[in-house]
Structures are given as C-alpha cells and as structure tokens.
C-alpha cells in the first residue's frame, strides 16, 4: 500500500505539478487543489491502466474513486481484488482527449 501511495504521488507530482513537491496530504482533493483537469484525468487513467493492469470503465470516472491519493489506492485495491471482471470497454476507448 505504501509503495502505491509513493508511486501515485510521484506520478501526480511529475505530471501535474511539473516535478514540484507541493507536500499535499494523501487525503487532499485534487479537484479542490485544482491540479487535475479533464485532460489530466485521462492521463491519470492511462497510467492506472498500464501500471496496475486494471481496466477503468467509464462508470468508474467519478471523484469518489480518483480524487485523492488515498481514494486512488483504495480504487486500485478494489479493482485488483476482482481481476476476473473484464469490462467490455475501457474508459479510454473512443476518447480523443
């Protein structure tokens, strides 16, 4: 779990904060901090799908799953617990942005 926290923090910091360590908390909302926009969200999903070999469905794209380091970790855990469920399409398909 700690490794995932660190990895996700590194991804967020490198991709959305240009490598600046802003020392935000694990439970702080990305939306409230204004660090992830629509395009950033899709970059994040792309990273999650590749790094953790999970498939993120369109219905998963809600702040309850993705809006803080803590929520992301729990979301990945939940996804990994149900590896048998392969959704028909991933959230990234058909998205140009």
Residues of this chain that interact with other proteins (CB under 8 A) are 17-20, 23-24, 28-29, 31-34, 36-41, 58-59, 61-63, 94-97
Shortest Cβ distance from residue 83 to other proteins (Å)? 24
Annotate 43-62 with b (16+ C-beta within 10 A) or e (fewer).
ebbeebbeebebbbeeebee
Q: Measured between alpha carbons, how far is 8 from 84 in angstroms, rounded to an integer? A: 24
Q: Which is nearer to other proteins, 38 or 85 (CB)?
A: 38
Distance of CA 35 to the CA centre of its chain: 13
Q: Which is nearer to other proteins, 1 or 62 (CB)?
A: 62
Q: Which is nearer to other proteins, 24 or 52 (CB)?
A: 24
């Amino acid at each position: 779990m700690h490794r995932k926290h660190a990895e996700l923090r590194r991804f967020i910091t490198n991709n959305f904060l240009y490598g600046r360590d802003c020392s935000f908390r694990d439970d702080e909302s990305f939306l409230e901090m204004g660090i992830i926009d629509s395009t950033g969200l899709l970059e994040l999903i792309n990273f999650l799908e590749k790094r953790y070999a999970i498939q993120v469905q369109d219905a998963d794209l809600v702040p309850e799953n993705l809006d803080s380091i803590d929520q992301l970790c729990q979301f990945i855990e939940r996804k990994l617990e149900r590896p048998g469920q392969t959704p028909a399409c991933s959230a990234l398909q058909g998205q140009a942005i």
